[in-house]
Amino acid sequence: MKAIIFGAPGAGKGTYSTRLKTKLGVEVIAMGDIFRAQVKENSELGKKVKSYVEKGALVPDEIVVEVLKQHLAKVPQGAGVILDGFPRTLEQAKTLETIFELDVILLLEVPDWIIIERLSSRRVCKNCGAVYNTRFLKSKVEGICDKCDGELYQRLDDSSEVIKKRLKIYQDQTSPLLVYYKEKNVPLITSITTVIDTPPETLVEQMLEELEKLKMT
Ligand code: ADP
Ligand code: ZN
């Protein structure tokens, strides 16, 4: 299965893709996680992308495409892949077409008010990147990751000003890609969230059922 997981910031792309990874044994390439790790390491790439990531702006296409190619090259032959956070622009989608045989889009539809609530209370593990929420998806011990005991922190781009900017970029530049893929008849699985504290497992099960129907599990 070659998939992209698609949705606004805070829709739950990271949360669902890590769960699907466990269930399906697929590889997940999460652009935001890759960039944050590079920023933390202060690598050459990290220095280039730091200001964009912290301000919630898009990293230039040339850089993102290059990074994606490097990560795709490391995926074992025949393994399933979920892309999280790519493509985000039409240019990226066009490049993807030349390097990735997309089978399915997993679309997460979440109303803006839920997104804003979630992002402003989101916490991320410094060590493994696992995502929590101080109100809706708590870690067992406050401030500590369940999986690795790492310290939880709030992303710089999860401040209310930057959240608004990221949502606008999604509206303007990323969500139009759905029309693009619709015209290409790429199969679409839509998962709709209407209740803020829906446990991720519920939606993951629904997605798995839909994927089974498409014979992709
Ligand atoms: P979000 O919660 O906004 O979906 P991500 O963790 O996926 O966050 O991405 C964080 C940041 O990394 C983005 O705001 C952007 O600066 C950068 N980024 C990630 N993916 C891309 C991409 N495909 N194109 C450009 N910038 C990207
Ligand atoms: Zn952790």
Minimal-distance CA residue to ligand 1 atom 4: 9
pLDDT for residue 109? 96
pTM: 0.94
Q: Which of 66, 34, 35, 33 is nearest to 49 (CA)?
A: 35
180 Cβ closer than 6 Å to some ligand 1 atom: no
pLDDT for residue 197? 85
Is 36 designated active site? no
Taking the chain (217 residues) in consecutive chunks of 10 residues, what is each chunk's mean pLDDT? Answer: 96 94 96 95 97 96 97 95 98 96 96 93 93 93 97 94 94 97 96 90 94 90
86 Cβ closer than 6 Å to some ligand 1 atom: yes
Is 135 designated active site? no
